[in-house]
Amino acid sequence: MLVQPIMDNASLAGAFEEIATLKELQGEDGFRSQAYRNTARRLETLTQDAAELVRTGTIKDQISSLGKSQLEVLGQLVSQGSSDLLNDLRARTPPGHLQMLKIAGIGPKKVRALFQELGVTTLPELASACETGKVAALKGFGAKTQAKILEGIAFVTTSGQRVRLDQALFLATALLTRVREFPGVSRAELAGSVRRRRETVKDIDIVATAESPTELIAAFVSWPGVRSIAGQGETKASVVLEAESSTGRLSLGGRLTINADLRVVSPSQFPFALNYFTGSKEHNVLLRQRAQARGWRLNEYELEGHTEICTDEADIYKALGLAYVEPEMREGTGEDSAAEAGKLPSLVKSSDIRGVFHNHTTASDGADTLEAMALAARELGLEYLGIGDHSQSLTVANGLTPDRVRQQWNEIDALNARLKGITLLKGTECDILPDGSLDFDDALLAGFDYVVASVHTHFGQTREEMTERICRALEHPMVTMLGHATGRLLLRRDAYAVDLEAVMKTAARTGTMIEINANPMRLDLDWVHCRRARELGVLLVINPDAHSREELAYFTHGVDVARRAWLTAAEVYNTKSVQEVLADLALRRKQQPV
DNA sequence: GCCGTTTTCGGCCCGACTGTTTTCAGTCG
């Protein structure tokens, strides 16, 4: 039997991205490769299964810019798992050339020159060519370029990768504070993917106004934490920051290296610069096209041709006939037409969250006691705190036996009687065993207020096995919500193989919630699938998966994901009050007799 | 590679910075 290759949207996007890059390296016209790159972006953010749309011949309804060539590539990728064009390009391009592109200041033209003039195909060969002075002698290169390439090779091989949002946000906020405190700075904001709250970012962007741009820029490049200066001009500076990484439970720690850019503009330019540098690139293109259609030109300084003054971003959107688009929605995925039609959702906010369900205590693998967690939750302004310690089979995490579960219930009852202003809920993070059954029997499960069901073992199952396993758990009447649906750890471990579309459809049918695991190492569901879940009518719930008091605040990262998925407060379960939640959970129990 | 209310070819978003050049190409965002 022929096995159908599984090309999910991310794999298809990866293939198109690679085609675009390889075409550039082959010296093809930039607009041709851009066409493939645009398709990659659309595939990344497509909420439906692209392979299925290709099979049913309806993909062009979703990605209208597909022509004959790209449709053929898509068709081959879906039916064969590979594409003639991609294979051909790969065969003609040394793999080292892709790595060389990661060096700052090196683009496709320089890679080609290095290959044609010096025959360089790998990073070590490039390093050696630099060390022997051959690179500096090339036309268009020089001593400085050669030195930068050597630095770049060291940077690429040691770090220079994407950074988790929470880590970047921590540094970015500190940097922003310094900028705002600098004399003569009246406005300063974070921009770029940090402001849009992407789950991982490549650099930090700050836009500011200053009475003396030169002084601000000079100060910026000399602040503590700046390891090197990548560029310094009249209006912009670019530096490499180095700092101790945070050491959260799932973090590897170590040093963190990230680029930071500062742009200084005049007060009247500020809203345009902030908007431009917030992006995304795709969103900017949509705005520019709208400006063009009105006979204006939009750039990072002004809306040329438009006479009314814009003092903030909302004025720009208004001028373009749009409602204000929150940064998290600026991904070029239909926010322009929604804004034009006045159909943008009112996004959920962190202040809407009134409780959380998936948290651990010292009873399993948490760092803080039940009471300490309860007090910390109250301090955060939450009305309820659900405890979801691990279940018995997860011995590595000190999973609770039924006896210890009952003991915890007694402690919760006692604390609820004693503590004011916070209600503890009895939950469990119950393992989904390899066959899809649950780690506790139904009689015990019936005693909880709710059940979070999660996969922690046997990640190597086939996609079919894993999908069936999770769906079976969702069918279980006692399961309230699915924990971290894909098991991924950002920048560390890929998701296990699972058909999320099938999982989400099952959840929609059974009324089971899906968690947005807000631990910044996970953010699982991711925002794209979260948006699909919303389309399918799945109720979502934001959980910090806190293993300590401090980690309770992680729920804000989940709110960021929810906002990127266009979720309103009504579509997130834990915006309900404690009374509503208690009533709803009781109702769910009654409808599902054991 | 794709597109079309100046349509089937010419244009596609646009400016800053760098390093090399001596007026600009390449890179980046």
- Decide: A475 and A510 in contact? Cβ < 8 Å: yes
Q: Which residue is nearest to nucleotide B28 (CA to C1')?
A: A105
Fold of domain A160-264: Beta Polymerase; domain 2 (3.30.460)
Measured CA to CA, the distance from residue A43 to residue A41 in angstroms comes to 5
Which one, of A279, A347, A334, lies nearest residue A47 by Cα?
A: A334
Q: What residue ranges of chain A are covered by domains with CATH 3.20.20.140? A: 350-590
Q: Which three-class secondary structure string do you get for A221-267?
A: CCCCCEEEEEEECCCEEEEEEEEECCCCCCCCCCEEEEEEEEEEECC
Q: Which three-class secondary structure string do you get for A133-185?
A: CCCCCCCCCCHHHHHHHHHHHHHHHHCCCCEEHHHHHHHHHHHHHHHHHCCCC
Q: What residue ranges of chain A are covered by domains with CATH 3.30.460.10? A: 160-264
Is A9-158 a domain of CATH 1.10.150.110?
yes
Q: Which residues contact A371 (CB under 8 A, 6 or more apart)?
A: A415, A419
CATH of A268-344, one of 3.40.718.10, 3.30.70.20, 2.40.37.10, 3.30.210.10: 3.30.210.10
Measured CA to CA, the distance from residue A14 to residue A86 in angstroms comes to 11
Positions of strand B less than 7 angstroms from a protein CB? 1-3, 11-21, 25-29
Q: What residue ranges of chain A are covered by domains with CATH 3.30.210.10? A: 268-344
Q: What angle separates helix A9-25 from helix A30-45, to the nearest 10 degrees? A: 170
Measured CA to CA, the distance from residue A372 to residue A124 in angstroms comes to 54
Query: pLDDT 10s per residue in chain A (594 long)?
Result: 445 567 888 889 889 989 999 998 888 888 888 889 889 988 988 888 899 999 999 999 888 889 899 999 999 999 998 899 999 999 999 888 988 888 888 889 999 999 989 999 988 899 999 989 899 988 889 888 898 888 888 877 765 578 899 989 988 999 999 999 999 999 999 999 999 999 999 899 999 999 999 999 999 999 888 888 888 888 899 998 887 765 444 444 556 788 899 999 999 999 999 999 999 988 998 898 888 888 888 888 888 888 888 999 999 999 999 999 999 999 988 899 899 999 999 999 999 999 999 999 999 999 999 999 999 999 999 999 999 999 999 988 999 999 999 999 999 999 999 999 999 999 999 999 999 999 999 999 999 999 999 999 999 889 999 999 999 999 999 999 999 999 998 887 888 999 999 999 999 999 999 999 999 999 999 999 999 999 999 999 999 999 999 999 999 999 999 999 999 999 999 999 999 999 999 999 876 554
Q: What angle separates helix A9-25 from helix A108-118, to the nearest 10 degrees? A: 50
Structure tokens at A303: 């809306």
pTM attached to this predicted model: 0.84
Q: Which residues pair with A454 in a beta bridge?
A: A431
CA of residue A431 relative to chain centroid, distance = 26
For A350-590, give the CATH class: alpha beta
Report the nucleotide nearest the CA of residue A203, measured to C1': B29
Report the nucleotide nearest the CA of residue A235, measured to C1': B16
Q: Which residues contact A520 (CB under 8 A, 6 or more apart)?
A: A164, A165, A166, A167, A248, A490, A554, A557
Report the nucleotide nearest the CA of residue A304, measured to C1': B14
Q: What residue ranges of chain A are covered by domains with CATH 1.10.150.110? A: 9-158
